[in-house]
Amino acid sequence: MPHESTRLSARDWARAALTAIADGGLAAVAVEPLARTLGVTKGSFYAHYRNRDELIAAALAEWRTHCEDGLADFAAITDPARRLRELLTTVVRSVRPLVPSVHLSLLGDRNDPRVAEAVGHVDQARLDLLATTYRELGLPSARAAARARVAYAAILGLSHLAQTDPDAPRSTVLANEAATVFLPPVRASRHASVPKE
């Protein structure tokens, strides 16, 4: 049988490792099972990486750049209110289904220093963007950072709940609730506009 599919590259292995991480965590990044799913034997793996650790590092790097690229799309939105709304609704609807899976699975391996470093950077970048957005919306710096933290926490948790619960709860009610909770940024002033129903 001739090789109808082209040969594999190092990125192919990294991507396969990422999908393995998405369901199974770091423990699922094993050379021989990965080779099986790719349809080759592990002999070819060691032509691209020296060992398993290098593959894990490459997969984490791939994930980080992927996350940063996704973040750049939101950072390009100039209007802070619209940017915030986009961030929230995107998460509620779980538009990008792959990325949060990787993120969640990595939580299980958060004690691994490489994982901690990658997750920490991704979290920090997202927190920075959220904090900047809230500052642009008028919140003082400390409160902007705090609210960014709470909002990002909700984002993480919602993606978690969406993945563990079988019933799809990305309803408009949920989106509205998240919006009323996190959208009005500055209701701390005197004429505090408490969200009404």
Partner DNA sequence: GCGTATCAATACGCCACCGTATCAAGGAGA
Partner DNA sequence: TCTCCTTGATACGGTGGCGTATTGATACGC
Q: Does 164 bind its own copies (CB under 8 A)?
A: yes
| Minimum CB–partner distance for residue 147 and its own copies (Å) | 5
How deeply is 102 buried, as exposed, middle or buried, from its count of CB atoms within 10 A (0-12, 13-18, 19+)?
Answer: buried
Q: Does 163 bind DNA (CB under 7 A)?
A: no
Q: In this structure, what token pair is assigned to residue 10?
A: 């190092």
Q: Does 29 bind DNA (CB under 7 A)?
A: yes
Q: Do residues 44 and 8 lie in contact, with contact meaning Cβ atoms separated by under 8 Å?
A: yes
Helices 141-164, 98-108: axis angle to 10 degrees equals: 90
Nearer to DNA, 8 or 137 (CB): 8
Binding residues for its own copies, rule: CB under 8 A, are 23-25, 27, 104-111, 116, 119-120, 123, 139-140, 142-143, 145-147, 149-158, 160-161, 163-165, 169, 171, 173-174, 176-178, 180-182, 184, 186-188, 194, 197
Footprint on this chain of DNA (rule: CB under 7 A): 3, 7-9, 29-33, 35, 39-44, 46-48, 50-53
